[in-house]
Structure 1
Amino acid sequence: MLHLTTISLFASVITATLQAVEEVTPVRRAGATLIAATSLHFRYFSFLKGGNKYDKFKDAYESIPAATTMDLISSLEECTTRLYLFLNNRFSDAIHLIYPWSKNSVYPARIYGILTVIKAFLTFDPQEIEIGMTATKEALRTCNSFRRKSRMMSFSRLVNKQGINAIKEEELHAEVCYAECLILKSTVTFIQDDSVLRFLKSGINVGLSCQIYKDCQRVLTQIPNYQSKTYRHLVGGIKFGLGVFNLILSLVPPKTLKLLNVVGYSGNREVGLTLLHDSASESHTNNILSVLTLFFYYISVAFGVEKSHSSAAENLSLIYLQKFPNCVILQFFHARFSMLKGYFKHAQLTLEECIFIQNEWKQVHHLCYWKLMWCHSFLLDWKQAYRSAELRFQHSRWSKAMYSFAKASLLAVLPSDFVKSVSEDMSSLFLNVDNLRIRILGTSVPIEKFVAEKGQRYATTAGWFTAQPILELMYAWSGFRVMSKNLELISTWLSIIDKGGELLQENPSKEYGTDDINFLNFLKGLCLKYLDYASAIKNLENIKHYKDYSVEARLQFRAHIALEQIAKEK
Structure 2
Amino acid sequence: MSRHGRGDAPCAPHCSPLSLQECLEECMEALDLFLNNHFAESLDKLRPRVKDSMYHALVYATVLEMQAMMTFQHEDIVSAGSTMKRAQEICQRFRKKTSMVGSITSLGKSSGDMFTEEELHAEVCYAECLLQRAALTFLQDENMVSFIKGGIKVRNSYLIYRELHNFISSKKLHKGPNHFHLEGGVSLGIGAFNLTLSLFPARILRLLEFAGFSGDKEYGLSQLHEGATTLNLRSMLCVLLLLCYHTFLSFILGTGEGDVADAEKLLKPFRVRYPHGAIFLFFAGRAEEIKGNIDEAVALFEDGCKAQQAWKQFHHMCYWELMWCFTIKRAWKMAYFYADLLSQESCWSKAMYVYMKAACLSMLPPEEARPFGENEVELFRQVPSLKQKIAGKSPPTEKFAIRKARRYKAEQPVRLPVPVLEMMYMWNGFSMIRDRPDLTEGMMETLVEAERTLQDTLVNEYRVDDSCIIQLLKGLCFKNKGQMQAAEDCFNKVYQSEKKIKYDHYLVPNALLELGLLYAQLGHKEQATKLLQKAKNNYKDYSMESRTMFRIHAALSKLKTDTSDEESTEL
Q: For this structure pair, what is the TM-score category when the shorter chain's length is used for normalisation? A: 0.7 to 0.9
Residue type at the aligned position of 1:538:
D
Residues 290 and 432 in structure 2, CA contact (< 8 A), matched pair in contact too:
yes
Matched, 1:537 2:472: no
Matched, 1:565 2:517: yes
Partner of 1:494: 444
CA distance, structure 1, for counterparts of residue 100 and residue 478 of structure 2: 64
Indicate which of 332, 338, 342 corresponds to 1:382: 332
Over 3 Å counting, the alpha-carbon distance change for 1:557 and 1:315 in structure 2 is same
**SS state at 2:500 partner:** coil
Partner of 1:104: 52
Deviates more, 1:70-79 or 1:188-197: 188-197
Can you list the C-alpha shifts for 1:475-525, whole angstroms capped at 9, x where unaligned?
222221222221101111111111111111111441111222222122212
5 Å-filtered alignment, 1:130-529, equals: 130-151=78-99, 158=106, 163-191=111-139, 193-223=141-171, 227-257=175-205, 265-303=213-251, 305=255, 307=257, 309-414=259-364, 419=369, 421-438=371-388, 445-460=395-410, 468-529=418-479
Partner of 1:121: 69
CA positional deviation for 1:419: 4.9
CA positional deviation for 1:254: 1.7
Residue type at the aligned position of 2:126:
Y
CA distance, structure 1, for counterparts of residue 187 and residue 103 of structure 2: 18
Deviates more, 1:471-480 or 1:411-420: 411-420
**SS state at 1:422 partner:** helix
Residues 113 and 184 in structure 1, CA contact (< 8 A), matched pair in contact too:
no
Over 3 Å counting, the alpha-carbon distance change for 1:356 and 1:273 in structure 2 is same
Over 3 Å counting, the alpha-carbon distance change for 1:461 and 1:271 in structure 2 is farther
CA distance, structure 1, for counterparts of residue 433 and residue 394 of structure 2: 29
Residue type at the aligned position of 1:557:
P
Can you list the C-alpha shifts for 1:354-395, whole angstroms capped at 9, x where unaligned?
001110011000111111011111112222211100110111
Partner of 1:25: none
CA distance, structure 2, for counterparts of residue 161 and residue 350 of structure 1: 51
CA distance, structure 2, for counterparts of residue 346 and residue 159 of structure 1: 50
**SS state at 1:433 partner:** helix
Query: What is the identity percentage for the equivalent residue pairs of Structure 1 and Structure 2?
Result: 34
CA positional deviation for 1:199: 2.8
Deviates more, 1:349-358 or 1:377-386: 377-386
Residue type at the aligned position of 1:228:
G
Can you list the C-alpha shifts for 1:31-90, whole angstroms capped at 9, x where unaligned?
xx99xxxxxxxxxxxxxxxxxxxxxxxxxxxxx954141111111111111111111111
Indicate which of 548, 551, 558 corresponds to 2:500: 548
Unaligned runs of 5+ in 2: 6-11, 523-571
Can you list the C-alpha shifts for 1:242-282, whole angstroms capped at 9, x where unaligned?
11111121122123446778765332222211111111111
CA distance, structure 1, for counterparts of residue 391 and residue 40 of structure 2: 34
Over 3 Å counting, the alpha-carbon distance change for 1:378 and 1:467 in structure 2 is farther
CA positional deviation for 1:174: 0.6
Over 3 Å counting, the alpha-carbon distance change for 1:254 and 1:508 in structure 2 is farther
Residue type at the aligned position of 2:263:
A
Can you list the C-alpha shifts for 1:133-187, whole angstroms capped at 9, x where unaligned?
3322321221111111223576676466652111101100011111111223334
**SS state at 1:285 partner:** coil
CA distance, structure 1, for counterparts of residue 78 and residue 501 of structure 2: 48
Over 3 Å counting, the alpha-carbon distance change for 1:252 and 1:287 in structure 2 is same
Over 3 Å counting, the alpha-carbon distance change for 1:399 and 1:260 in structure 2 is closer
Residues 224 and 239 in structure 2, CA contact (< 8 A), matched pair in contact too:
yes
Residue type at the aligned position of 1:138:
R
Unaligned runs of 5+ in 1: 1-32, 35-63
Residue type at the aligned position of 2:222:
T
Can you list the C-alpha shifts for 1:451-482, whole angstroms capped at 9, x where unaligned?
11211124537686676222222222222122
Partner of 1:24: none
Deviates more, 1:519-528 or 1:438-447: 438-447
**SS state at 1:374 partner:** helix
Residues 239 and 266 in structure 2, CA contact (< 8 A), matched pair in contact too:
yes
Residue type at the aligned position of 2:95:
R
CA distance, structure 2, for counterparts of residue 491 and residue 156 of structure 1: 58
Over 3 Å counting, the alpha-carbon distance change for 1:250 and 1:440 in structure 2 is farther
CA positional deviation for 1:234: 0.3
CA distance, structure 2, for counterparts of residue 446 and residue 315 of structure 1: 33
CA distance, structure 1, for counterparts of residue 390 and residue 261 of structure 2: 35
Over 3 Å counting, the alpha-carbon distance change for 1:433 and 1:79 in structure 2 is same
TM-score by length of 2: 0.82
CA positional deviation for 1:428: 2.2
Residues 464 and 508 in structure 1, CA contact (< 8 A), matched pair in contact too:
no
Residues 72 and 348 in structure 2, CA contact (< 8 A), matched pair in contact too:
yes
Over 3 Å counting, the alpha-carbon distance change for 1:161 and 1:239 in structure 2 is closer
CA distance, structure 1, for counterparts of residue 108 and residue 426 of structure 2: 53
Residue type at the aligned position of 1:76:
L
Residue type at the aligned position of 2:510:
R
Over 3 Å counting, the alpha-carbon distance change for 1:255 and 1:377 in structure 2 is closer
Over 3 Å counting, the alpha-carbon distance change for 1:68 and 1:211 in structure 2 is farther
CA positional deviation for 1:119: 2.6
Residues 70 and 317 in structure 2, CA contact (< 8 A), matched pair in contact too:
no
